[in-house]
Chains A and B, each alone.
Chain A
Amino acid sequence: MSSRVDRPAPRLVLTRPIRLSAVAAIAAGVVVWLALLGPLGALLAHISPAATRASLGAPGALSPLFVSLEASALALGVLVVAGTPLAWLMARDRLPAPRLFEAGVLVPLLMPPLVIGLLLVFMVGPATPLGGALAHLHLSASNTFFALVVAEVYESAPYYVLGAQSAFAAVGTELEENAALLGDSRARSFRRVTLPLAAPGLAMSLATAWARAMGAFGAVIVIAYHPYGLPMQIWVSLQESGLASALPFALLLIVVALPLPLVAYLWSARARSARIEARHLAVP
């Protein structure tokens, strides 16, 4: 008898009624999401299997894909090597005029890519001092694979550096200090503490930079008309024979460029929610 009395009351599934405003908010979110996906829908609606076979089946048709993949991978490598230390210094306010550095990183973000390309001509063109120095290394930043990488680096760098900066800033100095006080050198604490904790955020910014590099066009068309990566191929196909033959390359670009950011996003979202869940489980 008494056990019956002690039994806990049945749990309520809904703690409060679903409000109309919540439904409206969800509906609005879905509408915006669908609007953002609109171009993709249009792409899928207008692409024809025959044209896709013709465009992608032609001999050498996939070479722009490999050019894009290789150039973007190289650009990302450059960003990781050169951008990560800068992002860390910016996140730790270790630079003499931090706001100035942030503004500097924002410049290539604010400049239209086409303008970046035009200005790169003046910076690294073959007749410039920098271009002369590159020539000694048998490199040219005009219509070469190297030029493509340079253009992609400029178009994607701000996304990585600013993203990495906030990923490092989110780790905070306290844990780095603790590691150092426990005997770690700066490099060692970076490897053992900063990097693992910033990794999800770094992966997200790397994924964003990847998408930007794969899709880089404005600066590319100015300094790297050749060799064709996917965006240039889309443009040239559009010019040569119209939209129908250009769309398959656009689809290819999305199919190839999307998985990496998607995986990075899922991973960082899981890392985030794992920490939140654990916090909820904790009972003081």
Chain B
Amino acid sequence: MPKPHYGSEMRGIGGSAASGTHLALPGALAKPRALALGLALGLALTACSSSAKSVPQPKASGVPSAGSSSHARPRAGTADVAFAGSLLAVDNEVVGPGFERATGYAYTGRGGGSIGLAHEIAAGEITPGVFESVGAAPIAVLEPKFTRWYVQLAASPLVLAYSPSSPYAATFEAVAAGKKPLEALFSAMATPGFRLGRTNPATDPQGQAFVMMLELAQASLHLPAGTLEKIIGKGVLHGTGGRQSQIFSETALDAHLEAGQLDAASAFLSQAVQLHLHYVTLPASIDLGNPADASSYARASLVVPGSTPGTTTTVHGAPLVIDATTLEDPSESAASSQAAAAFVAYLASPAGRAAYQKEGFTLLPEKISGPASAAPPAVRRAVSRAASRATS
């Protein structure tokens, strides 16, 4: 779901963008603020996915710095977190600094596509201590060598973001306000010449989710036959063809939308909130954001390239859930392992959850999947505390 990375050229600049520096852009551009945000985000992603790590400055979260009584005593150990690109803002700006203050450990973060990150971790290209993924499938790539468990944190429902300068903006607004039926949304998208943007289903969970959302909509909303093909082209479900001109890289997609060059684009609710995009929420039955609907989501499926060239694999719809785990690495120091466990525990704490909720994620009850005994004690304690809070 993730927003992958981009170009190794950009490390230095990315670092500064991630630490809260915004690029100044010519005011003559159509939407300077939105663009600046998009650029900063894009640059940050770039930096995060490269080997240069960005360390957020405390001031980025607007909290008083050193000397404040809220600070924990500094401790050795760094939580090195690889996260789905859609978590960039919340992790680097809010959770990371909060974690440092609360625990005294240091934090570094890198964002990227969940699947891509999993491949990089599996290949030994990067060695983070924590992996936060959208969906459990990327974590499965790492089992059992790196981890055998994960904890579910929050859901990230899919929405349709749109450009207010689009000729279809009025239709979207009306649908968002409930003044027009949802079908109007899909018939608008099926209009010839509609400029839709989405991400690559071959590499990005969001790209897969968007196609499956259309499948679910086609079935559950009883759309006219062929609507899906009119929207994204023929053959997409079978892993061939489709309208390639709709495919954008995860970062560029937002930039194109904010520049008014697209009528609408797929997005996570959290992204739409963070980037102040205009968006239409979708019903839980098709937005892949509700774990309770997992069985109906599973009816949607899509063929994508397999993990060896020339092969294909079929993926089924599943809730878009943020899962986190710690990664075993023999070369890692004990302090780093403790910092990694402390980070996941912090994510499960009330402070971590509040941050996620504020940034547009739907909180889910914490639940450890896999053998609970494999999870570090700190994580187990945090999860059980959360469970007792929920029951009380």
Direct A–B contact present (CB less than 8 angstroms): yes
- Which residue numbers of A lie inside 8 Å of B, CB to CB? 51, 54-55, 57-59, 61, 112-115, 117-118, 121-122, 125-128, 131, 140, 142-144, 217-218, 221-223, 225-227, 236-245
Q: Are B244 and A227 in contact (CB under 8 A)?
A: yes
CA distance A243 to B7 in the complex (A): 16
Q: Are B252 and A112 in contact (CB under 8 A)?
A: no
CA distance A126 to B247 in the complex (A): 15
User: Given A118-B35, A122-B29, A218-B10: A239 and B4 within 8 A (CB)?
Assistant: yes
**7 nearest A-B residue pairs (beta carbon):** A125-B261, A239-B203, A242-B119, A218-B7, A226-B244, A222-B252, A143-B245
Q: Are A58 and B244 in contact (CB under 8 A)?
A: no
Q: Are B309 and A225 in contact (CB under 8 A)?
A: no
Q: Are B113 and A243 in contact (CB under 8 A)?
A: no
Whether B249 is near chain A, meaning CB under 8 Å from some CB there, is yes
CA distance A126 to B246 in the complex (A): 13
Partner of B261, one of A128, A226, A227: A128
Which residues of B have CB within 8 Å of A222?
A: 248-249, 251-252, 255
CA distance A245 to B41 in the complex (A): 29
Partner of A121, one of B119, B246, B252, B305: B252
User: Given A122-B35, A127-B260, A243-B125: A237 and B309 within 8 A (CB)?
Assistant: yes
Q: Are A225 and B247 in contact (CB under 8 A)?
A: yes
User: Given A143-B244, A239-B115: A112 and B261 within 8 A (CB)?
Assistant: no
Which residues of A have CB within 8 Å of B4?
A: 239
Which residues of A have CB within 8 Å of B202?
A: 236, 239-240
Q: Are B39 and A226 in contact (CB under 8 A)?
A: no
- Chain A residue at smallest Cβ distance from B256: A121
- Least distance between A107 CB and chain B CB atoms (Å): 12
Partner of B310, one of A54, A217, A244: A54
- Chain A residue at smallest Cβ distance from B163: A127
Whether B57 is near chain A, meaning CB under 8 Å from some CB there, is no
CA distance A115 to B10 in the complex (A): 9
Q: Are B261 and A142 in contact (CB under 8 A)?
A: yes
- Chain A residue at smallest Cβ distance from B113: A239
CA distance A238 to B120 in the complex (A): 8
CA distance A132 to B160 in the complex (A): 25
Partner of B42, one of A118, A122, A244: A118
- Least distance between A176 CB and chain B CB atoms (Å): 38
- Chain B residue at smallest Cβ distance from A117: B252
- Provide 16 A-B residue pairs closer than 8 Å at the C-beta atoms, listed in order of the A residue: A58-B309, A115-B43, A125-B259, A125-B261, A126-B261, A143-B248, A144-B245, A221-B252, A225-B247, A225-B252, A236-B200, A236-B203, A238-B119, A240-B305, A243-B120, A243-B125
- Chain B residue at smallest Cβ distance from A242: B119
User: Given A54-B309, A221-B252: A114 and B259 within 8 A (CB)?
Assistant: no
Which residues of A have CB within 8 Å of B125?
A: 243
- Least distance between B146 CB and chain A CB atoms (Å): 14
Whether B164 is near chain A, meaning CB under 8 Å from some CB there, is no
Q: Are B123 and A122 in contact (CB under 8 A)?
A: no
Whether B30 is near chain A, meaning CB under 8 Å from some CB there, is yes
Known: A61-B309, A126-B261, A236-B200. 13 other contacts (CB 8 A): A59-B310, A114-B46, A122-B29, A125-B256, A127-B165, A127-B259, A142-B256, A143-B244, A222-B249, A225-B248, A239-B200, A240-B203, A245-B309
User: Given A217-B7, A236-B203: A241 and B259 within 8 A (CB)?
Assistant: no
Which residues of A have CB within 8 Å of B310?
A: 54, 57-59
- Could you give, for residues 239-269 of chain B, a 1 whenever the CB lies within 8 Å of some chain A CB and a 0 otherwise? 0000011111101100110011100000000
Whether B308 is near chain A, meaning CB under 8 Å from some CB there, is yes
Which residues of B have CB within 8 Å of A238?
A: 116, 119-120
CA distance A263 to B255 in the complex (A): 40
Q: Are A121 and B261 in contact (CB under 8 A)?
A: yes
Whether B38 is near chain A, meaning CB under 8 Å from some CB there, is yes
User: Given A126-B261, A236-B202: A114 and B43 within 8 A (CB)?
Assistant: yes
Q: Are A112 and B10 in contact (CB under 8 A)?
A: yes
Interface residues of B in 1-46 (CB under 8 A from A): 4, 6-7, 9-10, 13, 23, 29-30, 35, 38-39, 42-43, 46
- Chain B residue at smallest Cβ distance from A141: B261
Q: Are B305 and A241 in contact (CB under 8 A)?
A: yes
Which residues of A have CB within 8 Å of B120?
A: 238, 242-243
CA distance A121 to B4 in the complex (A): 19
Interface residues of B in 109-125 (CB under 8 A from A): 113, 115-116, 119-120, 122-123, 125
Which residues of B have CB within 8 Å of A237?
A: 309
User: Which of A142, A240, A245 has the most chain B CB within a 10 Å cutoff?
Assistant: A240
Whether B306 is near chain A, meaning CB under 8 Å from some CB there, is yes
- Least distance between B12 CB and chain A CB atoms (Å): 9
- Least distance between B228 CB and chain A CB atoms (Å): 20
Whether B391 is near chain A, meaning CB under 8 Å from some CB there, is no
Which residues of B have CB within 8 Å of A57?
A: 310
- Chain B residue at smallest Cβ distance from A61: B309
Interface residues of B in 87-125 (CB under 8 A from A): 113, 115-116, 119-120, 122-123, 125
Q: Are B38 and A221 in contact (CB under 8 A)?
A: no
Which residues of A have CB within 8 Å of B115?
A: 239-240
Which residues of A have CB within 8 Å of B247?
A: 143, 225-226
CA distance A81 to B119 in the complex (A): 43
Interface residues of B in 316-356 (CB under 8 A from A): none
Q: Are A118 and B255 in contact (CB under 8 A)?
A: yes
- Could you give, for residues 284-311 of chain B, a 1 whenever the CB lies within 8 Å of some chain A CB and a 0 otherwise? 0000000000000000000011111110
CA distance A242 to B119 in the complex (A): 5
Which residues of B have CB within 8 Å of A223?
A: 252
Q: Are A218 and B6 in contact (CB under 8 A)?
A: yes
User: Which of B30, B307, B308 has the most chain A CB within a 10 Å cutoff?
Assistant: B308
Which residues of A have CB within 8 Å of B71?
A: none
Partner of A114, one of B42, B244, B246, B306: B42
Which residues of B have CB within 8 Å of A114?
A: 6-7, 9-10, 42-43, 46, 251
Whether B278 is near chain A, meaning CB under 8 Å from some CB there, is no
Whether B195 is near chain A, meaning CB under 8 Å from some CB there, is yes
